Amino acid sequence: MISIYKSREEYGKALEYKGTKVRSFFEKPAPTRDIDLHKDMVLYLEDVSVSFDGFKAIDSLNLYIKKNELRCIIGPNGAGKTTLMDIVTGKTRPDYGTAWFGQNFNLLIHSEDEIARAGVGRKFQKPTVFENLTVFDNLELAMDSDKRVFPTLFAKLSSDDNYSIEIVLDKINLIQFRNKFAGSLSHGQKQWLEIGMLLMQNSQLLLIDEPAAGMTHQEIDKTAELLQLLRKEHTVIVVEHDMDFVRSLDSPVTVLHQGRVLAEGSMDKIQNNPKVVEVYLGE
């Protein structure tokens, strides 16, 4: 990767800005740094449409997400929620419209891999952790290799790398489970581990699909706390069906229906919207 910085000083300042300690002259740029977020907008989708065999899965959709926002996307089955995430991550190309990550990253001309490297991380509904590795090793594997200090010179993790993993272990409530095999975790803990793996990639924008699915009440409460914590350093979009969970996040909600935004606002406002009641909550 070619550094976009003209000087180490400039590079160091950018690292400090990201809250990262300046560690090494040889450290490579982290992926999110060339995304221009100065207007505090992370995601712009405008007039986006995509059809599958003539069926409009996304229909003239507009969506704007600000930096450090936690946005819930709800909507009945087939509303287009997963397709929306597929468009943002480059998995599906829209037939029409524009999609920008920050001011300067056109999502429609980059590959899935480039979009992930630029700082868009996604967690699918089903946890995909490595069951026969420890929690710690899962996080280590997920670590953004560009962020590793001297990755090819030293096989062992540096103390800074260890520290980054400890920070994530703490955030995802798995400190005491660091040496347990991921396969021995509860379903909820696996979901947290997968969120932790996303955090190791240092993504600015996190897309999280149904994090509360299959969790106990206690785990759901902790997940809500975790997402609130994450929005301090990231921008988070959550797709979720569990209305109690969405309410507990206390964040703006976008309701999708037939590929369009049906309503947007607080959960209270949404729940009293007759159109929403008709298509979704009244089901």
Kindly list the residues in this chain that would bind Mg ion in the complex (CB under 5 A): 81-82
Q: Which residue, 164 or 191, is less far from Mg ion as judged by CB? A: 191
Query: Residue 226 in contact with residue 206, Cβ under 8 Å?
Result: no
Q: Which residue, 82 or 138, is less far from Mg ion as judged by CB? A: 82
Q: Which residue, 140 or 209, is less far from ligand ATP as judged by CB? A: 209
As a whole number of angstroms, the longest Cα–Cα distance in the chain is: 61
CA dihedral 85, 65, 139, 29 (to 10 degrees): 110
Q: Which residue, 74 or 165, is less far from ligand ATP as judged by CB? A: 74
CB of 60 to ligand ATP, least distance (A): 15
Whole-angstrom distance, CA of residue 245 vs CA of residue 249: 6
Number of residues in contact with ligand ATP, rule: CB under 6 A? 10
CB of 93 to ligand ATP, least distance (A): 11
Chain positions 51 to 70 lying near ligand ATP, rule: CB under 6 A, are: 52, 57
102 makes contact, choosing from ligand ATP, Mg ion, none, with CB < 5 to 8 Å by partner type, with none
SS3 (DSSP) at 271: helix
83 makes contact, choosing from ligand ATP, Mg ion, none, with CB < 5 to 8 Å by partner type, with ligand ATP
Query: Residue 61 in contact with residue 84, Cβ under 8 Å?
Result: yes
Whole-angstrom distance, CA of residue 65 vs CA of residue 70: 9
Whole-angstrom distance, CA of residue 243 vs CA of residue 241: 6
80 makes contact, choosing from Mg ion, ligand ATP, none, with CB < 5 to 8 Å by partner type, with ligand ATP
Whole-angstrom distance, CA of residue 257 vs CA of residue 282: 14
The pair of three-digit structure tokens given for residue 126, joined into one six-digit string: 């089903």
CB of 240 to ligand ATP, least distance (A): 10
Q: Kindly list the residues in this chain that would bind ligand ATP in the complex (CB under 6 A).
A: 52, 57, 75, 77-83
